Structure formats: structure tokens, C-alpha cells
Structure 1
Amino acid sequence: MVGLAVRLRESGAEVRVCAPPDEEFARLFADVGVTLIPVGRPVRQVVASVEPGSALGLAERAAELIAAQFGPVASAAEGCDALVACGPLPVTAAARSVAEKLEVRHIHVSHQPVVLPSPYQRPPGRRGRSLSPGVTDNRTLWDEDARNANEMFGDAIDTHRAAIGLPPLDNVRDYAFTDRPWLATDPVLSPWRATKLDVVQTGAWLRPDDRPLPPELVAFLDAGTPPVFVGFGSTPLGAPEDVARAAVEALREQGRRVVVSHGWADLPLIDDADDCFAVGEVNHQALFARTAAVVHHGSAGTTTTAALAGTPQVVVPQGADHPYWAGRVSALGIGVAHDGPTPTAASLSAALKTALTPESRVRAEAVSGTIRTDGAATAARLLFDGI
């Protein structure tokens, strides 16, 4: 979203961004001169408090998100020409309701394809709502997913819609997605097969990042062979110490140095040996270009950044869209999909043996040359063109 904001401003637009009030989000936008309008609670606190896979407290969190769209987001959208919405369904359905009331153009964008209904893939499932066992027809499962979405979020959204004079929704999910959703993913890394949805694939939205790497990190990189990056981004881990130990032990077994990214899981260094270096928020575009491989959780952003750098990947999927990106990395031959979310030294060592081969490097570099870098600029142009 930072990338889109920058490209829109370059085209002469005024940009207002509504997002959770986490310090790192505010800093990202402040760095490019865009003010963040805080909405809801810091998402990092929510992520840290939610047990993976649990639906406990989901209804309350959804109600907060929905109310925020009809409150501060609606205020921010006053006088705008377009409202671009992304995020979980309670957010995007409520955001479109706001756009409908204000008679503002609305665009739904997804940064991964797994939530978009398609006969070629299963729905990802919703917290606390298991899909019918034994059903294999994807169309039937997507119909079930739509019913689940209505039951989970319909009443809360319709209550707010009624308060501003809008009729109730009969299909919350499809209303949120619209007939023409945007898909902000790279067409090589994440191809979309045509369906009845008129999906507009813009390419991934990459934010300009010319920040220099910290001098201490540069010194570490210069002091030896390219290290392997290990990080899990904003994904919580049940036992970060165990994950860090497994990664470092697997890499030391192969004579590799390591850069450990703390991330939201606070991944630690396991000792003070000089073959490991810890980082916080840094320029991944610059760092990945200097690494031998990237071990990560499989988010859209990290996967795309590593692919653009031409660096082999080991994806250890933790949930959400991570298995999808792990599968794409494996299918393209640019890395390895780890089996399951809990790595051991042995399992990572086996995956790294494949990822660190010359063949994987050659393939990763070849795919790198096909990754589009104009996705955010394309989206900005489409917004100005009214498409």
C-alpha cells in the first residue's frame, strides 16, 4: 500500500491512508511523506493475543473492524474520488458499504489469490468454520464459504448499513469482492486462471526502498560468504527459540553464516558466535540481494521480494496464504516448500541442501528477470483512467 500511495502522489493525487496505528506502519508512510489515519487497535497486539487457528474473540474483533469502517474510514473518504480497500472480509465489505453511501468509486484489491472464488482452488476456510468433510467440488465449497461469511459477518454489517439508509446484503463476500476485483500479484509468480470474475491483475505493489543497510550489517556481509536470511515477518511463533536454534544449527552444519530477523515473533540469536547477525526492520530488497538463500514464512511480500532478488527460498508456511506461496516457489523451482510449520534442524538442513544448489540459484535468477516492478504504477494509472 505504501508503493501505491507513492505512485498516486507522483501522478498528482492526494492520498489518505487508513490503517492500524502500529508504530512501524506509521513510520513506513511517514518515510514517504504520507500521513496514516489510525483505525482500530494496533494489529501487532491483536496478532500476539490470538491463538493460531482459534476463533475465540473473532466476533468481537470483526465488530470492531466493521465499526471502524463506518466511523473514521467513512470520515476520511469524504470528498475522495476513489476508495481502495484490502484486508479481511469484515473490513472490505464495510468499506464498500461506505463507498456506496458516499457514491465514491470502490476497488477491492487482494495481495494474494487464495481468497478469490475460483473453480480451480478450494476456499481457504474461515476461523471456527470447517468446510464440509468429503466434499471435493470447489464450486460447492465456495457456495458454502459464502454462506459461512454471511452467518459470521452479515448481521453486524447490515446493522451499520441500516443506520445509514442502505439495504441488507444477501452475499457479504461477493459484495465485498465486486465483479472486478484487483489482484496485486506478479503474473509469473502468481498466475491467475480466468474465471467468471473479471480479475484485473496489476502486478505486485512494490514500495520504493532506497534505505542503506546499517553499517554493522554491511560489515558483517563484507566479512565472509553470503549468509542465509532467516525471518518470519509479522507471523507469531509458538517457540521462536526452537525455530532459531533449528535454523542456525542446520546452517552451521553446512558451513553457512546466518542473518536472523527478529520480526514480530522476536526470533533470537542462540549465542554470541560471530557467524550470526540479528536485524530488525531493514531494507529487504537490498539485503536479499546479498544472501545465499532466504528462509521465511511465505507471505506475499517476502516471497515476491526474494523472487525479485533472484535468491533461492525455503518457505516454512505458518498459515493463511503461506502454503500457496510455498507451492508456487516449489513449482517454479526457485526454492523449497518445507513440509509443515515446525522446522527442525534435520528438516531445514534437507530443504537447504536443495535450495543452496547451483541449479536453484540459476533458476531463481532466471525467474527474477521476469518479475514485474511496475505493479503499483499500473494500479495508479488504472485508478486515474477510471478502470
Structure 2
Amino acid sequence: MRVLLSTYGTRGDVEPLVALAVRLRGLGADVRMCAPPDEEFAQRLAGIGVRLVPVGPPVRELMRGKALPSAADLARYRNELVEAQFDAFPSAFDGCDVVVAAGLGQVAARSVAEAAGIFYVYVSYAAVHLPSPHHAPPPRPGWPEPEVADNRTLWELDAQNVNAQFGEALNRHRAVLGLPPVDNVRDHILTDRPWLAADPVLGAWPETPGLDVVQTGAWTLPDERPLPADLTRFLDDGAPPVYVGFGSMSPAEGIGGMAVEAIRAQGYRVLASRGWAELDLVDGGDDCFAIGEVSHQSLFGKVAAVVHHGGAGTTLTAARAGAPQVVIPLQLSDNPYWASRVAALELGAALDASTTSLASLGVALKSALSPGTRARAQSVGSRLRTDGAEVAARRLVDGSR
């Protein structure tokens, strides 16, 4: 069996497919992956024996700035990505039995699979990306944010925005492939039976007519890399510190420094992750230690709390470790959704990045660091599954899709 996996985005978009690829290979499947051409993704896939088919521009360059590109630039990036997909996918998909596409940006995947007679599966990593009256669409940078409150209306407007961005290009390419036009690009990409690779305790799908969602559990791998020696020494030299990091994202101006100050004000040491933004939050004090890329699975069980941006992977890893969380989400993708889930499950506190202050951070940290919050976090952590990628791989190999 040959499986093609495809996504475009940061590490949070690529790593779940890496987990699925490993499980598929363990079941005897041949796997290749379409992903951004960034060197770290090429090295990651080479390490598990999966061939990278590079599609689109490097993501790290896109995320390098302090702010997201303008709406005009984002529209141009999206259009160029669609063209790159239609150029690369036909040869990448050749000989494959199944295509698994992750993310709404995979505009070309279903059409190329359809033309080649290949089974297509769409996967989301968070329920908020799938239409439901139980929640609003996630923030989509560069597209207008409607000032209405009804979720059904918001999803209708969201579909109109997707059509406006991608409809002409998609249907032009479908015509070349001999396929009929589609009138709802978003729902065409999602299908009426999408998969949801999210933990059912942390991010359950609210039953919604019209969508037969297959929730497999989150797609992750064990990460048993030992922590660096200097980090281990810092951890051993005192009480557990509070971790602060924003992954592949750049936080709003001043948020990182404010978080360090608030953590110190609560009497805790600070563990500051540089992340893709290369944040410099260390001022020379021996109570603050900077780290690069380390295993969060090995680390988060050793910290007092985790302050982060609301990425799906960070939220899940902290929850599994039983670590209380303070989420300062960017108004981007699923970050606000995971912040809301942390608050709803009482695993910590969620803030609004646009109004976060030293005082509000202090209140949030005090709540997160309380014994009651830690007890709830540990209780929820013990109920989270770790077999999502295995479940998904077996469904693909067995044909129960």
C-alpha cells in the first residue's frame, strides 16, 4: 500500500503527519509526504525514512516577521501555493492508493486525487476547523472578520471567503483535469466525512448534522530524547520553574518579557524557550534559563506550569504531563480554541493577547499555580489517549475509512 500525506504549515502542521507516517510504515505501507521545503522538515522526514516532496515556499521565512504579512501578501501567497500544488501533486500522487490532506490550504489535493482515482481523506487537528453551529470559524488572517454573532451565519460567510480566495483557481484547474466545477470550495476540501486528529477528552467533536466526523485521537509519537545536561542542572538547582514559549509563532510585542516578569513576581524561576522567533527573554539573572529545541514530553512533567500561545501540540503535551497552563493565544487558527478548552477544563487560565497586562498575567499565573488546578490537570492528563496515530494508520491500511 502506498500513502501520500500532504500539509503546509509550521511544525504543528507537520508533526502529526510524521507520527502517522511512522505508524503506517510500521504496518508495511510505503509513505511519502508533501510539505514545505524547510530544511528541518527535510531532516525530520529523512530520519524516519520518508521522502519529502517539497511544495510551496519555506514556512520559516513567512513566519520570521514580528507581524503576519498584509492581507494582499497573504492572498498572493495562498494563490501561489494553489498553483504550486497543482504543479507538484500529479507526479507526487502517482501510484498512491490513499491521499491524506491536512489543513484547509490543501486546495488541490482532492481534485488531483479524484482525477487519478485515488481515495482522499481530509484531516483536521482541531474541531474548530470543521463547520458546526456549536462554534464559530477560527480566525483566518487576511480575511474580513464579520461583526455577527450567529455561528451558522459566520460559517456561511466563511465559505464565501474561501470561495472568493480559491474558487476561480480551483475550478480552472478542475476543468483542465476534466472534472466538473465545485460551488463550495471549503466543503469540497473537507468532504462530508472528515477525520479529526484530536484527543476526545481535550477537544471533543460536538455532533453536527451533515458531517460524519471520524475522531481518531491526536497523532503523536513518544519523544524520549534526554534533556540537555545544562538544562537538567538548572532544573535540579531549585524548585520547578515555569516554562514560557511560543513555538513557531511570534508573540505580540512585549508579551514575552511581561510573562517573565509576572512569573518572577510569583516567586518562580523561569524557563524561556527561544522558539522560531529566537526570543531573547533572559537578562542574566540566575533564575532564568533559555532553551532551544528540547523534548517537551521529557520537560513538561518537571515544570510548575506552561505559559504558551495555544498551539495544539503544546496544549496536548502539557495536558498529558498534568502541567497547569496559561494560554496567551494569538488571534490565529486554532490558538483561541485551545485556550478556550484549557479554560473550560479548568487546566489553567486563558488570556486575550490584545489586553494582556502584567496584572492579568499575575492573576492567571496565581490561579494556574494553585494546588487545585494542578490536581485537575493531573486528573485530565491521566485520561488522555496516546494511540491516535495507530488508530488512524490501521483504519487506512484496513480500508475502514
Give the corresponding residue for 1:163: 176
Provide the identity percentage.
57
- Residues 204-249 of structure 1 show CA distances to partners (whole Å, capped at 9, x for unaligned) of 111231211111111111111111110001112342xx23321221
Aligned partner of 1:151 among 152, 161, 164: 164
Give the counterpart letter for 1:244 in structure 2: G
Which residue matches 2:21?
5
1:239-292 deviation per Cα after TM superposition (whole angstroms, max 9, x unaligned): 2xx233212211111221111111122211331111111111110111111111
The CA deviation at 1:18 is 1.0
Maintained 8 Å contact 2:305/2:369: yes
What is the aligned partner in structure 2 of residue 100 from structure 1? 114
Match of 1:263 among 275, 291, 295: 275
Matched, 1:57 2:73: yes
Q: Secondary structure at the match of 1:278?
A: strand
Aligned to 1:42: 58
The TM-score with structure 1 as length reference comes to 0.94
1:247, 1:344 within 8 Å by CA — same for their partners in 2?
A: no
Separation of aligned partners in 2, 1:340 and 1:263: 18
Task: Name the counterpart of 2:97.
Answer: 81
Shift, 1:136, TM fit: 3.4
Which one is further off, 204-213 or 108-117?
Answer: 204-213
Quote the residue 1:346 is aligned against. 359
TM-score, scaled relative to structure 2 = 0.91
Contact 1:54/1:128 (8 A) holds in 2: yes
Q: Give 3-state SS (helix, strand or coil) of 1:93's partner.
A: coil
Tell me, in whole angstroms, the C-alpha distance in 2 between the residues paired with 1:50 and 1:170: 36
**Is the deviation greater in 49-58 or in 247-256?**
49-58
TM-fit CA distance, 1:132: 4.3
Number of corresponding residues: 382
With a CA cutoff of 8 Å and minimum separation of 6, indicate the structure with the bigger relative contact order: 2
**In the TM superposition, what whole-angstrom CA distance separates every residue of 1:1-29 from its partner, at most 9, and x where no partner exists?**
11111101111111101110112222322
Which letter does structure 1 place at the counterpart of 2:260? V
1:12-68 per-residue CA deviation (whole Å, 9 max, x = no partner) reads 111101110112222322332323221111111112358448412122211221122
Per the alignment, residue 130 of structure 2 pairs with: 116
Per-residue CA shift, 1:285-341, capped at 9, x if unaligned?
Answer: 111111110000001111001001110000001122111111110111111112334
* Residue 255 (structure 2) aligned to one of 243, 248, 273: 243
> What is the match of residue 301 of structure 1?
313
* Residues 132, 315 of structure 1: alpha-carbon distance in 2 compared, 3 angstrom cutoff: closer
Q: Indicate the residue corresponding to 1:70 in structure 2.
A: 86
SS of structure 1 residue aligned to 2:82: helix
2:5 alignment counterpart:
none
The secondary structure found in structure 1 opposite 2:42 is helix
For residues 328-367 of structure 1, what are the structure 2 equivalents within 5 Å? 328-341=341-354, 343-367=356-380
2-structure distance, mates of 1:73, 1:321: 27
Per the alignment, residue 297 of structure 2 pairs with: 285
Name the counterpart of 1:14: 30
State yes or no: 1:28 paired with 2:40: no
8 Å Cα contact 2:75-2:142 kept in structure 1: no
Please tell me the root mean square deviation across aligned C-alpha atoms, in Å. 1.7
2:327 to 303, 306, 315: 315
> Could you tell me how far 1:131 is from its partner in structure 2?
5.0
1:337-367 deviations in whole A, cap 9, x for unaligned?
A: 1233464332221111000011011000000
Range 43-52 or range 227-236, more displaced: 43-52
Structure 2: segments with no counterpart, 5+ residues: 1-16
For 2:139 and 2:72, locate their aligned partners in 1 and report how far apart those are by CA, in whole Å: 16
Letter in 2 for 1:71: D
Q: Quick one: distance in 1 between partners of 2:42 and 2:364?
A: 36
Letter in 2 for 1:286: S
Paired residue type of 1:336 = A
Give the 3-state SS of the residue equivalent to 1:16 in structure 2: strand
Which runs of at least 4 in structure 1 moved beyond 3 Å after TM superposition? 49-54, 125-129, 341-344
